Chain A
């Protein structure tokens, strides 16, 4: 079964950088789209970024474009989120999730069937 474990969260000053990692102990990492989803304190879920199996397709939410970089290392079964120029509004629990994305003639299928336990990122001075 897929098991996702995030690491790398912590306290960082505004303008600083942090890199999150997500290790997948399952057997399907290299064949799966993967995503990052976050939840700020008192707020709802927010999709952050998605990457396809070989890293050739990547999408970001507008608010993180140019500041965050999603990447993956398939031989290491690992997903990453490099975050820079961090702002207070980036404070959130960050979840990695397996993204069952598929483009069909009837529309795009996107859903997250496995999630990590979350990693807290706090941006504060």
Chain B
């Protein structure tokens, strides 16, 4: 299983808000920075959040990241059908000297 733990799936109605959690440890999230990615099948992953809470240019403020202790959260407001995708958190793990990702969360907008 993955070093970072995410729920396998989340769902919400269009226009609503959803949060995706990412749980780790002191060797990764607790002492390093978290990033988040959106991945649609057959395409390259897209960076949504870096350095825990910063958005690259072009990413709408409907996407927000936060971190507390050894956990991080991605929040998405005003859900749209186009937000249906897999979402991954990532961080450096200082004990493993390796990058680590969460197992991914499939978002369904129903």
B106 shortest CB reach to chain A, Å: 10
Which residues of the other chain, B, contact A50 by a CB distance below 8 angstroms?
A: 99
Mask: chain B, 39-68; 1 = CB below 8 Å from A; 0 = not: 100011111001100001000000000000
B103 within 8 A of A: yes
Residues of A within 8 A of B96 (CB): 62
Write out the residue numbers on chain A whose beta carbons fall within 8 Å of the beta carbon of B37. 45, 112
Q: Is the interface of A mostly helix, strand, loop or mixed?
A: strand
Give the CA-CA distance A28 to B47 in the complex, in Å: 18
Contact with B along A106-117 (1 / 0, CB 8 A): 111111110111
Flag if B88 contacts A45 (CB, 8 Å).
yes
Q: How large is the interface on B (under 10, 10 to 19, 20 to 34, 35 or more residues)?
A: 20 to 34
A115 to B51, CA, bound (A): 18
Q: Within 8 Å of chain A (Cβ to Cβ): is B94?
A: yes
Are B45 and A111 in touch, CB under 8 angstroms? Answer: no
A27 an interface residue at 8 Å Cβ cutoff?
no
**Complex: A37 Cα to B102 Cα, angstroms:** 13
The answer, yes or no, to whether A73 is at the interface (CB within 8 Å) is: no
* B90 near A47: Cβ-Cβ < 8 Å: yes
Question: Taking the nearest CB of chain B, how far is it from the CB of A64, in angstroms?
Answer: 10
B73 within 8 A of A: no
Hey, which chain A residues are within 8 Å of B98, CB to CB?
A: 47, 59-62
Q: How many residues of A contact B (CB 8 A)?
A: 27
Residue in B35, B44, B50, B97 whose beta carbon sits within 8 Å of that of A118 in the complex: B44
**Interface residue ranges, A against B (CB under 8 Å):** 35, 37, 44-47, 50, 59-62, 95, 97, 100-101, 106-113, 115-118
Chain B interface (Cβ within 8 Å of chain A)? 2, 31-33, 35, 37, 39, 43-47, 50-51, 56, 86, 88, 90-92, 94, 96-104
**Between-chain CB contacts (< 8 Å), 26 pairs:** A37-B45, A37-B99, A37-B101, A44-B88, A44-B102, A45-B37, A45-B45, A45-B88, A45-B104, A47-B101, A95-B44, A95-B45, A101-B92, A107-B31, A107-B32, A108-B94, A109-B33, A109-B92, A110-B33, A111-B35, A111-B47, A111-B50, A111-B51, A112-B90, A113-B47, A113-B56
